[in-house]
Amino acid sequence: MALLAGCAMLSQLFPSESPYRPDDISDAAVRLPGAESFIAGIALKDLIDEERAETAKMGGLGPDGGVRDPDGGGSSEDGGWDHVAAFIARCFQDPATYEVWVDLDRAARRWKVIVLPEAPCTVKIIGGGAEYEIDADTYEILHRERME
Amino acid sequence: MVRGNTGPSYSDLDAAAVAACDWLWAHQSEAKRWEYCGVLYREEAGGGIRVGLPERGDRAWRCFPRDPPEATVFLGRYHNHRFTAEPSGDDKKRAQKEPSLGHYLCAPSGLVRRISAKEGTVNVR
């Protein structure tokens, strides 16, 4: 009994966290920690920018900046822009394709970030993720490596 | 669908993967700087295992193997790395999500490695 009473007193001293939830958001809204979100965003933006640049090199971007529809000029292996090339480009340029893991080192100097393809469009595709190291003070990308 | 196979058939999946990597390094000189990938499949019940011809990736670090032919049994995938013999996070995740398939890495050193969530990474050559 005394133990239970003690626990009750302790819980009053240290109430469990119940974060404020803004009124004007839907049930689907997600709460994200700021630092982790920011670091994940840096890595994800870098990766998607690279994907867009590679797609542009292959002639796969349309005038509006989006992935253009396939043409009939050969396969992607021959340098053409076919259905497979357009499908992969759309998939890997979409942030929703990825999940991101972030980890701050013990000295709080560097973030390790791992970006992994997760969406159904990536199921048959090998590679496509990336690993980053990001400076915890300057937010500079110190190292990037594409997974194979 | 995969464009064809390398010719011989194998009784063992690991042996097929070793042959796949040998074929890849012997026939795709670009594989030292570009990723290729392919599938391993059984043509008929009791038949041997075939090595689907490797596909060139759309990026140097990414590859999309075509499906094995219809009416065959899909057994696994193989792909090469350009620089490292270590499986990537993506490789490990894939092995965890598809435990019924064989996942093989053709390392640039000549090692052939099987990746699975249960066993970890095992050198098959």
Mean pLDDT by 10 residues, chain B (125 residues): 89 97 97 97 89 95 94 96 96 96 97 96 96
Q: Is the ipTM of this complex over 0.85?
A: yes
Residue among B56, B95, B53, B63 at smallest CA distance from B76 = B95
Integer Cα distance of A146 and B51 in angstroms: 27
> According to the model, what pLDDT value does residue A23 have?
94
With a cut of 50, which residues of chain A have pLDDT below it?
A: none
Integer Cα distance of A114 and B90 in angstroms: 10
> According to the model, what pLDDT value does residue A9 have?
61
pTM as predicted = 0.87
Distance, in angstroms, between B2 CA and closest chain A CA? 13
Contacts with B65 from chain A: Cβ below 8 Å: 124, 126
Alpha-helical segments (H) within chain B: 13-27, 89-97
Q: What angle do CA B10, B17, B115 make, to 5 degrees?
A: 135
> According to the model, what pLDDT value does residue B73 have?
95
Integer Cα distance of B59 and B27 in angstroms: 19
Can you read off the two tokens belonging to residue A122? 């990536």
Instruction: Give the bridge partners for B62, in sequence order.
Output: A127, B59
Nearest to B64 among A84, A116, A131 (CB): A84
Distances (CA, A) of B50 to A97, B94, B101: 32, 22, 14
Integer Cα distance of B29 and B38 in angstroms: 16
In whole angstroms, how large is the CA radius of gyration of chain B? 13
Q: For the segment B55-71, what is each residue's pLDDT rounded down to a tens digit?
A: 999 999 999 999 999 99
> According to the model, what pLDDT value does residue B54 have?
97
Alpha-helical segments (H) within chain A: 2-13, 34-57, 83-92
Residue among A20, A42, A44 at smallest CA distance from A31 = A20
Q: For the segment A68-83, what is each residue's pLDDT rounded down to a tens digit?
A: 999 865 555 566 789 9
Contacts with A54 from chain B: Cβ below 8 Å: 59
